[in-house]
C-alpha cells in the first residue's frame, strides 16, 4: 500500500516536449512509473520516446485513463495548465513549477474548491493539487510522480515523509534508508506561500495507510502550516511523528530562498512551531541525523 499513487497509477506529463519535461518523463519511466503520454499545446500528434503527445489534457483523457498529471510548464503558464488538468477531471495534479505568482495560486486553489464542491454533488472524488514549487511525490519502489533522484527511493520502507523543502527531502530519505527504515510514500508539498496540499491534508492519509508506521515532517519557518499539523497530530494521530524545522535562526523579514519561508512580525517564528510540536508530543530533531535516532526510539 501507499498513499495517493501506486504501481497502477497512469501518469500524464504536461509540457513533455520541453527540456525539463522530457528529462523527468524519462527518469520517471526508469523508476517504473506508468507514463501514458504527454501534452504540449500545438504539438498534438507528435510522439516522444513512443509516448503520444496531445494538444490538450482533454484530448489525452479521451484516449487514456489518467490518474495523475505532472506539470512542467514555465511559471507564467503553470496556473493555466493546472486548471486545464482539473477541468479535464484529472484527480491528482502535481505542479513542479518554481516561481509562480502568488495571486495565480490563490485563484487556482479557489477554483479547485468550487470544482470539488460540484464534483461532490455529482458523486465524484475530489481533485487534489500538490505544489507548486515542489519535488512531487514518490511511493518507494512503485511509482514516482516528481523530480526526486530515483536512487534515494529504491525500495519500500516504513516511514511516510512530508516536506516543504526539496533537497532536505532527499537527504531525509537517504538517512532513513541508511538507518534501515526506508520510506513508504514521500510527499513534497512545496515552498510557496499558497500551495494546494498542506501537511494537515497529508497526515490523515498516512494515519490510514497500513504501509506507513511513522511519519517524518520537515517544516520550515513562515506561515502556520506546522502549527496546523501539530493540532491535527494531537487530536487524531496514533502513529508516531518526528519533525524537523529549518530556518530556526533566520532573521526576521528576510526571505530565505522559498517565498514562503519568511518571518513577518510574530507570524512564522520557529518558537511558535517548536511550542506547537511540543504540545502535540512531537519530538523535533535539532539536526538531520537526529531524525533517524528519534524515529528508532518512537518505533516499536
Partner 1 sequence: MKLHEYQGKELLSRYGVAVPMGKVAYSPDQVRAIAQELGVPVMVKAQVHVGGRGKAGGVKYCKDPDAATAAAEAILGMDIKGFTVKKVLVTAAVDIAKEYYAGMIVDRNVQTYTLMVSKEGGIEIEEVAATRPEAIFRLPVDPVAGLRPFEARRVALEAGLEGSLSKIAQMMVALSRACFAADATLAEINPLVVTAQGEVVAADAKVDLDDNALFRHADLMHYRETEAEHPLEVEASNFGFAYVKLDGHVGIIGNGAGLVMTSLDVVNRVGGKPANFLDIGGGAKAEVVYNAVRLVLRDPDVRGILINIFGGITRADEVAKGVIRALEEGLLNKPVAMRVAGTAEEEAKALLADLKTPLIRMYPDMFAAAEALAREVSA
Residues at the interface with partner 1 (CB under 8 A): 75-76, 99-107, 109-111, 147-149, 151-152, 163-168, 170-171, 174, 191, 193-195, 218, 220-225, 228, 246-251, 254-261, 264-266, 286-289
> Which residue matches cell numbers 503553470?
78
Closer CB to partner 1, residue 139 or residue 169? 169
What are the phi and psi torsion angles at 233 (to 5°)? Answer: -60, -45
Which residues face 245 on adjacent strands? 219
Q: Which of 56, 26, 36, 58 is nearest to 44 (CA)?
A: 56
Whether residue 237 contacts residue 264, with contact meaning beta carbons closer than 8 Å, is answered with no
Beta carbon of residue 52, minimum distance to partner 1 (angstroms, whole number)? 27
Beta carbon of residue 165, minimum distance to partner 1 (angstroms, whole number)? 2
258 is catalytic: yes
Closer CB to partner 1, residue 6 or residue 18? 18
Beta carbon of residue 150, minimum distance to partner 1 (angstroms, whole number)? 10
Closer CB to partner 1, residue 52 or residue 190? 190
Burial letters for 201-218: b for 16+ Cβ neighbours within 10 Å, e otherwise? bbbebbbebebbbbbbbb
Closer CB to partner 1, residue 37 or residue 133? 133
Beta carbon of residue 8, minimum distance to partner 1 (angstroms, whole number)? 27
Q: For residue 159, what are the CA distances in angstroms to 169, 188, 240, 292?
A: 13, 14, 10, 10
Give the per-residue SS3 of 29-63: HHHCCEEEEEECCCCCCCEECCEEEECCHHHHHHH
Beta carbon of residue 285, minimum distance to partner 1 (angstroms, whole number)? 11
Rounded to whole angstroms, how far apart are CA atoms 299 and 181? 10
Closer CB to partner 1, residue 8 or residue 286? 286
All residues at 6 or more sequence positions from 88 whose CB lies less than 8 Å from its CB, including other chains: 56, 57, 58, 60, 61, 66
Query: What residues are annotated to the active site?
Result: 258
Amino acid at each position: 500500500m501507499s498513499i495517493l499513487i501506486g504501481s497502477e497509477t497512469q501518469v500524464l506529463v504536461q509540457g513533455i516536449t520541453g527540456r525539463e519535461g522530457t528529462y523527468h518523463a524519462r527518469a520517471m519511466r526508469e523508476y517504473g512509473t506508468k507514463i501514458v503520454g504527454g501534452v504540449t499545446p500545438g504539438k498534438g500528434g507528435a510522439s516522444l520516446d513512443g509516448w503520444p503527445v496531445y494538444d490538450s489534457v482533454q484530448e489525452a483523457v479521451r484516449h487514456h485513463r489518467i490518474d495523475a498529471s505532472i506539470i512542467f510548464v514555465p511559471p507564467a503558464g503553470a496556473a493555466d495548465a493546472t486548471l486545464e488538468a482539473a477541468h479535464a477531471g484529472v484527480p491528482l495534479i502535481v505542479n513542479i513549477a518554481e516561481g509562480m505568482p502568488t495571486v495565480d495560486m490563490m485563484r487556482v486553489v479557489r477554483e479547485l474548491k468550487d470544482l470539488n464542491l460540484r464534483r461532490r454533488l455529482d458523486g465524484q472524488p475530489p481533485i487534489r493539487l500538490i505544489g507548486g514549487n515542489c519535488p512531487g511525490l514518490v511511493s518507494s519502489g512503485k511509482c514516482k510522480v516528481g523530480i526526486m533522484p530515483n536512487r534515494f527511493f529504491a525500495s519500500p520502507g516504513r516511514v511516510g515523509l512530508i516536506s516543504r523543502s526539496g533537497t532536505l527531502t532527499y537527504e531525509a530519505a537517504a538517512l532513513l534508508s541508511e538507518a534501515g527504515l526506508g520510506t513508504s510514500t514521500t510527499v513534497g508539498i512545496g515552498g510557496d506561500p499558497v500551495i494546494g496540499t498542506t501537511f494537515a491534508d497529508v497526515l490523515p492519509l498516512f494515519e490510514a495507510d497500513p504501509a506507513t508506521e511513522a511519519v517524518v515532517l520537515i517544516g520550515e519557518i513562515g506561515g502556520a502550516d506546522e502549527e496546523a499539523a501539530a493540532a491535527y497530530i494531537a487530536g487524531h494521530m496514533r502513529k508516531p511523528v518526528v519533525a524537523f524545522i529549518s530556518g530556526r535562526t533566520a532573521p526576521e523579514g528576510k526571505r530565505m530562498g522559498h517565498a514562503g519561508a519568511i518571518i513577518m512580525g510574530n507570524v512564522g517564528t520557529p518558537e511558535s512551531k517548536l511550542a506547537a510540536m511540543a504540545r502535540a508530543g512531537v519530538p523535533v530533531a535539532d539536526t538531520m541525523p537526529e531524525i533517524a535516532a528519534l524515529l528508532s526510539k518512537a518505533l516499536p
